[in-house]
Amino acid sequence: MRIVLFGPPGAGKGTQAHRLADRMDLALIATGDIFRENVGNDTELGREAKSYMDKGELVPDDVVVRMVLDRLDEEDAHHGFILDGFPRTLPQAQALENALAERDRPLGVVLKFVIPDEVAVKRLAGRRTCKLCQRSYNVEFKPPRIEGVCDACGGELYQREDDGEATVRNRLEVYERQTAPLLAYYRQRGLLATVSGEGPIEAVRRAIRAAVGA
């Protein structure tokens, strides 16, 4: 199965992506996570991406596309994957479609999460992210068992620099301007399914399973 998780910042894509990938035994390819890993390791890619991420702007298409297409050719992605945070622009969507057509591995579903902006802003203000495995927690809605420590891997939790309110508002605007127009692209191809990202994490998880048949 090849799945795209689509939706604004704070919609819960990352939270659900980890669970769904484990359940369906799919490779999880989350572009934001890959960039943050590179920022943490101070690589050339990380330094380039950071200048955009800190402002809530998108990293240039050529950089992201190259990175994702390389990742899709890795062994674990051959029998299925979940893309979280990609594609985010029309050129990214077209590059993905062409690459998957060449490999005879078309997308199965593009799952759109719907949440109001104010819910996203509130969630992101309380988000804590694991430095090692990038899982998301929330001081209010999903606290870790031990404060500051990841339940899954024991990594240290931190607050993302781009989760400040002003940057979040810019990320929401960038989503509306550059990413939301892709919905028409996927609707035309009959790939779009929608779930509500509101409500408890478990309820969202059940809706996603129903939508992808997991």
Shortest distance, position 27 Cβ to ligand AP5, whole Å: 16
**Single-letter amino acid code for the residue at 182:** L
64 binds ligand AP5 (CB under 6 A): yes
Sign of torsion over alpha carbons 62, 21, 40, 175: positive
Catalytic annotation on 19?
A: no
User: Site residues for ligand AP5, window 93-122 (CB under 6 A)?
Assistant: none
Query: Which residue in the set 35, 81, 107, 110 belongs to the binding site for ligand AP5 (CB under 6 A)?
Result: 35
Contact 36, 22 (CB under 8 A): no
Work out whether 15 is an interface residue with ligand AP5 (CB under 6 A): yes
- Which residue lies nearer to ligand AP5 by CB, 70 or 104? 70
Q: Reply yes or no on whether 88 is catalytic.
A: yes
- 102 in the Ramachandran plot: left (φ > 0), alpha (ψ -120 to 50) or beta? alpha
The widest CA-to-CA distance across the chain, in whole angstroms, is: 47
- List phi, psi (to 5°) of 121: -60, -45
Q: For residues 67 and 45, what is the distance between their CA atoms, to the nearest angstrom?
A: 9
131 annotated active-site: no
Per CB under 6 A, 52 contacts ligand AP5: yes
Cβ partners under 8 Å of residue 22, min gap 6: none
Q: Return the residue nearest ligand AP5 (CB atom).
A: 32
Which residue, 192 or 195, has its beta carbon nearer to ligand AP5?
Answer: 195
Beta-bridged to residue 192, according to DSSP, are 110
Q: Is-contact 124 133, C-beta < 8 A?
A: no
Rounded to a whole number of angstroms, the minimum distance from the CB of residue 200 to ligand AP5 is 6
Let me know if 66 is a catalytic residue.
Answer: no
The catalytic residue positions are 13, 88, 127, 160, 171
| Binding stretches for ligand AP5 (CB under 6 A) | 7, 9-15, 31-32, 35, 52-53, 56-59, 64, 85-86, 88, 92, 123-124, 126-127, 136-138, 141-142, 162, 171, 200-201, 204
